[in-house]
Amino acid sequence: MTWRPSQNQDLCRDDPNLLWRAIEGLFDIAVPLAPLPRHSGDELTSAYVTERRGQSQNAAQAMLGRVPKSMLEASLGVTEVELLDVLLRSKGGRVVILRGTRGAGKSTLVNYVEHLCQKYIPDRAPILLNIDGLKLKSLDGIAGVGGLLSAEIANAASHYPSIVVPPEGLVRSTARAKNASAIRDRLAALAQAMQPKAAERLVLVLDNLDHLSSEFVEELLDLAKITAKASGICCVVCIRPQCLVEQVKRSLAGHVYSFLINVPPPKVAVWLSRLPARFADAVKRSVDSGEEPFSFQSQPLLQEEAALIGQRLYEMFYRRRASDDVPLHLLQTVAADDMRRLARMMRRILAHGGLPISVLIGETDLPPTPFHLLRPLFEGAYTIYFDNDLIPNVLWQECADDSPKLLLCQRVLLLLNDAKQIKAETLFRELRGLDYSDEVISAALVRLCNSQLVRCSDCEIYSADARPEYLYITESGVCFRDNFLTNPDYLLAAVTDVALEHAEVRKALARPRGPTEEVSVDFVAVVHSVVEYVREVRDKEARQIYRLVRAKHTPELRRLVFLLRKGGLMLVSLRVALRTLGERMYRAQTTRVHEMANVLSELDKDIERTSQTLLDRLGDIENKARKAQSSTARQLDQRRLGTTRVSIAVREQVDGLTVSPSVVDEDDNQHCFLLGMCDDGGKGSNARAMVAFREDEEPTSSSKSAKVYRGSSVEFPIAANGDSPIQLSLQSVKVPMRDLWRIALLAPSFHDGRLQLTLHVPSRLQHRLDESDIGSGIGVAEMRRLVESALETVGSATGASVVDALNVQGYRLTQALLRSDGAKQLATHLNSVETIIVFVTDELMRVPWEWLRLPEADEGRGAPKLLGQQVKVVRWSANALDAMYRLGKRFEPTLCGTLRTLGLRVGRRLSWRSPCPPSLWELAQVIEKATTVHMVGHFEEGRLVVRATRGAPHVELTADSLCSLKLPEDTRSIVISGCGVGAADVTKNIAAAISRHHGYCVWAPLVDIDENDVETLDASLAQFASENADRSIEEFFSAQHAQLGWPSTYVRFGFGKRPYV
């Protein structure tokens, strides 16, 4: 019969030490869980911590030039300077988001900055109107804001009587405001009644919104937006990351705020170093308020004594051995997720019965062997450990059917290891493969989320009824998995809260005791329970691994096996703890402990044998999966492609590239990303989709694994109603997802006679492509006239005037083709992407997208640059499906290598030039022997003819003839120069065909080129190739533009990668 010793009330007692009973009230004053209050200057100054995680004081010192000189003597960090800079320098309505975890100090940051401004620059100090979300009720909605705001206006009028003079009746009418528009009008009236300089000091603060409903938070964000826009009042919104993510998904928050300031939690070391000052200040405030003074051992507690307690507690953490650093590490990781939990953990340490009180109060010095703080952390004020939300028991998960799951919590933390976040459905699918039910998994996730070892991406609390989209492990979760499962102290403490036989503990409790003797369990009895627990884990883990041997080979199975082999076996962690425990026991002086140490030694050998056997089994599974995968790849190469059914939502019109949410494979339940769809050019009613199909996790050189996807070929009929079942043919195309973040997609298309220009940028937040329409909606006829004018102007320019023509036409094109906000959005993404892929049809082939010249990109950055000079612009004329192969590929430069030129006069000093071959077959041989081929064609009777001189052998270039050639499959670069009036259109069509069919990187001009210019270009290209064979073609054209200008008319088609057919 299983039983938990922690449920024995005689054994598990609430028994805090005498010192804690005396100073508990003092600790509540010194380290409150609530934010430090406003208008409490001394408390804010002594307790506030400006040193935050991830921020250096050197960076803060470098930023001090952004604050008034009178504030330089104040304690300022990076976050404080950023908020001060926004509040004091930014003019006009703006919305500032303060993003930080629970307890990171968002509210205290606002109060501290207000205090500094009132102290050092009272004539410019912000006037805060603070709306506390804790006082709002979701049921009242936005109507409850009016009452709080009216009280804040009255409070501001009393603090600043000469500045804030609300119109008569404004306070009462604000209390009756029932919607956001009415509240906005009251704030606008208040600002208009004040002097302009004074009105700029008004700041509306929306705080503690996270416990409110999503709809209510959305209303409050909308209130901030319209208030800032209508009245010019600055709005500060304090919000947690999860809440902000949820609002971003609702497509609201990203369009609201002007500034985003991250608020990291304070550094734990600095926070602990402030305890002496906080304890002393708490005593002083208690005495000043006339309350009964705190006393210990019938003596009043003085400020110096309180400060000594804080100082000794700080030294107990920092005078430690390297092997005993788990408590400090735990505090640091907990603080990263919730600073208020840090204060609660400090309470547990101070309340523990074994705390060395004589050391804390200064009667004795610190012992030579530091006091081990793990046991106080685990037990707190109780005499034995039991499961709680601060120190959860991850050794097991209780179930309703009385069958404890000893591995479940560890498996959850393991599967959340390598991914920053993982789909909740994917995690459930992987755990179902380990024979866990959804009810048990949900119960474990609820407990882990409440303990903040696991977080939800879009909500604060996990709910089985409303399962979140993503889950991820926190720093505390990593600490528990990597440190506590290998720690013997945690194992000894937590095993008493696991449902086992506990035979030796039962015997110890049944032993007769005297009337004054307290109930307790000796150390050896607990070690017996540890041995029982380890043996149970050994048997259950072995059964689980043997079950995996018979399981179907899926990506989820391969990922699980990889993680288990990498050190994820729970037996491996427990063996580390047992070895450390055995070494301690061998140092003991009692025979009974030595005998138990021998038992642990035998158990260690048994675990070693079992672990090695399980690792061998996992290796067999991995080898079989690898063989099955390679066999599948061979079948794919032989075009024996398997099919699987997938359901996706098909849009009514699929012209150009569109993006939909994720897709789930109905057969294998593997996760897919639908990256884009396109039609078949109007030739029929079919459409094609570009899908990233989750395949596996591949080990990398770092500790993390890379997400690997397969490119998927999808063809299906366009259906205007609902979901369309389609056939999905898997192709052996691996796409590392990490490389997608450097690529943006620009998809122009025509709808109802107007241009629609869609920008797709990968979203790190949601692991999909975000789409936005940045086009101006210009008409087709007007766009054609504009493009023809631009091409003619640039094509007719000569010398230095080419650069001026490009700049002028670039501005004209930008203003005509892009909306103003679209141009800003495109300019914003230029700093985060390396390549922009433009999907162009025949109709849009002539548009010089590379010439777009964004005004925002020119401010403060020297000479203006065209879009093609700031990032790589790659034109792709095929459907989006064929680009899937290249999307995840790292864009390696197309190197110059060896150059061969065809179509220009040859000579002894022109060794890189060759006579034109008389046939296409010989042309293919020339291309095969060179890395870069420059083909110069002359436009004659609608054809592009390549020949050196008139009457010499020649070859006619057409799109069909070049596609029919059998060319090498490795990387090639081809430059096609079309000379003569009318050559540009033919050249572009040929370039698009070569890049689409052969996968080469092809450069071709957008305008007709003069033969003298081509001679100059070819000579420069030959010199560049001879001196810089290992440099890219992009560098050559960039350098040529700086010297001549007109080479910017050459644009790039294709990726330099052969398409997967």
Rg of the chain in Å (alpha carbons): 35
d(CA 53, CA 267): 5
Per-residue confidence (pLDDT) for residue 1044, from 0 to 100:
57
For residues 183-208, give the mean pLDDT.
Answer: 88
d(CA 357, CA 347): 14
Per-residue confidence (pLDDT) for residue 700, from 0 to 100:
40
Least confident of 221-225, 343-347, 771-775, 1018-1022: 771-775
Q: Which residue has better confidence, 284 or 1039?
A: 284
Neighbours of 486 (CB within 10 A): 19
Per-residue confidence (pLDDT) for residue 889, from 0 to 100:
44
**pLDDT at residue 280 greater than cutoff 60:** yes
Q: What digits encode the pLDDT tens for the residues 622-678?
A: 888 776 655 444 333 333 223 333 333 333 222 332 333 333 333 333 444 444 444
When pLDDT is cut at 50, 70 and 90, the band that residue 761 belongs to is confident
Length of the chain: 1061
**pLDDT at residue 888 greater than cutoff 80:** no
For residues 91-108, give the mean pLDDT.
Answer: 84
Q: Which percentage of the chain shows pLDDT scores above 70?
A: 78
For residues 169-187, give the mean pLDDT.
Answer: 88
- Could you tell me the fold of the domain covering 50-265? Rossmann fold (3.40.50)
Q: Which tokens go with 869? A: 């000079």
Q: Which residue has better confidence, 514 or 1?
A: 514
Q: Which of 1026, 977, 1027, 979 is nearest to 1003 (CA)?
A: 977
Q: What digits encode the pLDDT tens for the residues 336-393?
A: 778 888 888 889 889 988 888 888 888 877 665 556 778 888 888 888 898 888 889 9
**pLDDT at residue 330 greater than cutoff 50:** yes
For residues 907-932, give the mean pLDDT.
Answer: 83
Per-residue confidence (pLDDT) for residue 495, from 0 to 100:
93
d(CA 81, CA 55): 12
d(CA 598, CA 973): 71
DSSP 829-877: HTTT-SEEEEE--GGGTTS-GGG---GGGGTTSSS---HHHHSEEEEE-
For residue 107, the Cα-to-chain-centroid distance in whole angstroms is 24
Q: Which residue has better confidence, 38 or 549?
A: 549
Q: Which percentage of the chain shows pLDDT scores above 90?
A: 12
When pLDDT is cut at 50, 70 and 90, the band that residue 601 belongs to is very high
Q: What digits encode the pLDDT tens for the residues 18-31?
A: 899 998 888 988 88
Highest average pLDDT, of 134-143, 343-352, 796-805, 1021-1030, comes from 343-352
φ/ψ of 698, rounded to 5, equals: -105, 130
Per-residue confidence (pLDDT) for residue 236, from 0 to 100:
92
Distances (CA, A) of 516 to 16, 50, 510, 513, 519: 19, 51, 16, 8, 10
Per-residue confidence (pLDDT) for residue 78, from 0 to 100:
87
Neighbours of 529 (CB within 10 A): 22
Per-residue confidence (pLDDT) for residue 604, from 0 to 100:
92
Parse the chain into domains and list their residue ranges. Answer: 50-265, 269-366, 408-510+518-613, 646-736, 772-887, 899-1053
DSSP class of residue 135 equals G
For residues 432-452, give the mean pLDDT.
Answer: 91
When pLDDT is cut at 50, 70 and 90, the band that residue 530 belongs to is very high
Per-residue confidence (pLDDT) for residue 535, from 0 to 100:
94
Highest average pLDDT, of 544-548, 668-672, 945-949, comes from 544-548
